[in-house]
Amino acid sequence: MENLQCQCGHVNPPGTKLCESCGRSLTEKDQNSKLVDMRYEGTARRSQTYNKSIIDKIWNFFSSVKVGVSIIVVLLVAAAIGTILPQQAFVPATTETAIQEYYADTYGSIGRVYHFLGFHDLYSSYWFIALVGMLAISLVIASLDRFVPLYKSLKNQRVLRHPSFMDKQRIYAEGPGAEDTLQKAETKLKELKYNVRTDKNGLLAEKGRFSRWGPYVNHIGLIIFLFGVMLRMIPGFYIDESLWLREGETRAIPEVPGYYLESKNFELENYSGEGEEEVFGEALDRVGTVAKNYQTDVVLYQKPEDALPGADDSQEVVKEFPIRVNQPLKFDGYAIYQMDYRLDELKAMTFALTNKETEESLGELTIDLIDPEDIYELESGSTVELLGYYPDFSGFEDGEPQTATPLPNNPGFLVELTTPETPEGETSFITIQNTVEPLGENDYKLAFQSVETRDVSGLTVRKDSTLPILGLGGLIFMIGVAQGMYFNHRRFWIQQKADGTILLAGHTNKNWFGLKKDLDQVVEHASLPAYTDQQDEIDKAEKAEKEGEALS
């Protein structure tokens, strides 16, 4: 492409639409149109100008707004598809192969393709990240390519423009003027807070140029935001772990070295509809139970820096705190939230050693299901010896009782009962509501008396060091939006020819109504010729033409 030389003598880079110096239209199309296209001041978008090396070609690709919008559309469609089947975090499978099988088994071949393409974990799939990255590249390059020429053009703009530039502006006026018209216009424009520059027989009044930077500020905010999101993938910046904590348990907090958490108590409180809450009575009758409070009373411990995991060193109480929904325990940049609960897990069972025939009790014993003892001695001189404990009894295998999990969901006990009457002992296998006597009929049994339970709190451990960056990105984004939306870049060009004729043109990037209001004041004060809105006239003419067609 060749450089373009304007009639005024200025040499413009290829792709320029309006002469950088005088404003004349440089292409035939523009010369024939009634109004000029003022986007980017008619400058050449930088990327259009050169297209030689591979780098230039890549650059040009990303500079295109069409490409940017296409990427956004693809991202939206992908995100939409990602909502059709559940994401892997909500699937009841943990290992990679189990997850894959789950999708294949539950959703058939669609599920298999879905998993293969990475839709099951969309935000972590490499092509989705690559697309977001391409959007970031597009944002940076498209902004640079437009901002730099626009900035230069506005910085170097001249006061005097060619009449052909002025009469193609949307707001235009031509007519006789007085000797002091220019001075009066200048005074009034300055009063209206315009920056006014004069040159020979003309003036340029300008206001709110910074509004033109709004979109670019906005994009900087977006880039910072994306940078923050990128940091989340880097270890240490973002933690989101779950922790199930039972009442009475002390556990190391996952991903938080040196800290331990103990649950003292979990509480689920419902609205009772009585007393002060009577006003809710009607609503409660309608919808049933309504939770008022989920709360875990915890104690946070910290071990000394040099303490080893597992070591029973002196741990210090850092804080006692009731964790409630939306009121997390916060410490050292971490936050622990109340997320879930399970009520009434078995904790301890009480039995009475009973003579089967006489129903006479030889005393009671309580077996702690979390930490059972080897032998329980009763006052009567009888003993109950625990031979085996199966917290989640799931049946026998080769005559051996099995446990499915370490949790006391279905406790089974193999016990030997010894009483003064049966000193050689009787063996019994006890599960809930069932007793087996493997070595023959016994005289004694353990009769179930009562049970103690405990609640389990589902907590989430979270740390997000990227929040300030995301906040900053969001703030800059909003500043950019406000800058571009609530402020307007307004300009007036006024020239007085040797015969006293006034040429007037006005331009704004938005809010033409506001521009006209300003201009009305100047026109009145400086007795400028009446202006016309050429866009309105074009619209009117088109409308009339259409109506004419309809009539004929």
Collapse the DSSP code of 138 into the 3-class scheme (helix H, G, I; strand E, B; otherwise coil) and give the result. Answer: helix
- Contact pattern from residue 331 through residue 370 relative to another protein, giving x for each residue in contact according to CB under 8 A and a dash for the rest: ---------------------------------------x
> Does position 318 bind another protein by CB under 8 A?
no
Instruction: Give the up-direction half-sphere exposure of residue 259: CA atoms within 13 A in the CB hemisphere.
Output: 19
How many Cα neighbours within 13 Å face the side chain of 366? Answer: 9
Residue of 71, 141, 173, 336 interacting with another protein (CB under 8 A): 141
Number of Cβ atoms within 10 Å of the Cβ of 473: 21
- Out of 73, 84, 343, 404, point to the residue binding another protein (CB under 8 A): 404
Q: What would the DSSP string read from start to end of 271-333?
A: ---SGGGGGGHHHHHHH---EEEEEEEEEEEE--TTPPTT----PEEEEEEEEETTB-EEETT
Binding of another protein by 371 (CB under 8 A):
yes
Distances (CA, A) of 397 to 192, 393, 394, 402, 410: 93, 11, 9, 7, 17
Nearest residue (CB) to another protein, 18 versus 229? 229
Burial class of residue 337 (count of CB atoms within 10 Å of its CB; 0-12, 13-18, 19+) = buried
Tell me which of 377, 392, 416, 533 binds another protein, using CB under 8 A: 392
Rounded Cα gap, residues 272 and 284, in angstroms: 8
**Residue-level length of the chain:** 552
Here the tokens at position 163 are: 């009449």
- Identify the residue among 35, 159, 178, 230 touching another protein (CB under 8 A): 230
Identify the residue among 108, 388, 395, 471 touching another protein (CB under 8 A): 388
The window from 79-87, 208-216, 251-259, 318-326 that contacts another protein (CB under 8 A) reads 251-259
> Does 78 participate in binding another protein (rule CB under 8 A)?
no
Contacts of 509 (CB under 8 A, 6+ apart): 211, 212, 488, 489
The residue among 364 and 392 lying less far from another protein, judged by its C-beta, is 392
Shortest distance, position 374 Cβ to another protein, whole Å: 6
**3-state DSSP of 327-367:** ECEEECCEEEEEEEEEEEEEEEEEEEEEECCCCCEEEEEEE
Nearer CB in complex with another protein: 192/252 = 252
Residue given tokens 């390059």 in the structure block: 141
Instruction: Name the burial class of residue 8, with classes exposed (0-12), middle (13-18) and buried (19+) by CB atoms within 10 angstroms of its CB.
Output: exposed
Question: Whole-angstrom Cα distance, residue 231 to residue 69?
Answer: 25
- Complex with another protein: residue 405 or 532, whichever CB lies closer: 405
CA 547 to chain centre: 51
- The window from 71-79, 134-142, 266-274, 282-290 that contacts another protein (CB under 8 A) reads 134-142
Residue 163: CB atoms within 10 A of its CB come to: 15
Question: Which one of 16, 157, 403, 457 is in contact with another protein (CB under 8 A)?
Answer: 403
Q: Is the dihedral of CA 315, 316, 320, 326 positive or negative?
A: negative
Is position 148 an interface residue for another protein (rule: CB under 8 A)? no
Strand, helix or coil at 83? coil
Judged by DSSP in three states, 470 sits in helix
Which residues between 419 and 478 bind another protein (CB under 8 A)? none
> Is 151 or 260 the residue whose CB approaches another protein more closely?
260
Spatial separation of the C-alpha atoms in residues 402 and 424, rounded to whole Å: 27
- Please report whether residue 399 would count as binding another protein according to CB under 8 A: no
Can you tell me which of 1, 58, 81, 475 binds another protein, judged by CB under 8 A?
Answer: 58
Check residue 144 for interaction with another protein (CB under 8 A): yes
Does residue 254 belong to the site contacting another protein (CB under 8 A)? Answer: yes
Our CB check for another protein shows the closer of 386 and 479 to be 386
94 binds another protein (CB under 8 A): yes
Question: What is the Rg, in whole angstroms, of the alpha carbon atoms belonging to the chain?
Answer: 40
Task: Give the SS3 label for residue 199.
Answer: strand
The answer to whether 460 and 243 have CB atoms below 8 angstroms apart is: yes
Comparison of 320 and 373: residue with beta carbon closer to another protein: 373
Instruction: List the one residue from 386, 447, 451, 481 that touches another protein (CB under 8 A).
Output: 386
391 near another protein, judged by CB under 8 A: yes
Stretch that binds another protein, among 25-33, 133-141, 264-272, 332-340 (CB under 8 A): 133-141
Q: Which of 38, 252, 318, 481 lies at the binding interface for another protein (CB under 8 A)?
A: 252
Is 74 a binding residue for another protein by CB under 8 A? The answer is no
Site string for another protein, 14-53 (x = CB under 8 A): ------------------------------------x--x
Q: How far is the CB of 350 from another protein (least distance, A)?
A: 18
By CB under 8 A, name the one of 65, 76, 387, 485 that touches another protein. 387
> Does 260 participate in binding another protein (rule CB under 8 A)?
yes
Residues of the shown chain interacting with another protein in the complex, contacts defined by CB under 8 A: 50, 53, 55-56, 58-59, 94-95, 124, 126, 129-130, 133-134, 136-137, 140-141, 144, 227, 230, 233-235, 250-255, 257, 260, 308-312, 370-374, 386-389, 391-392, 402-406
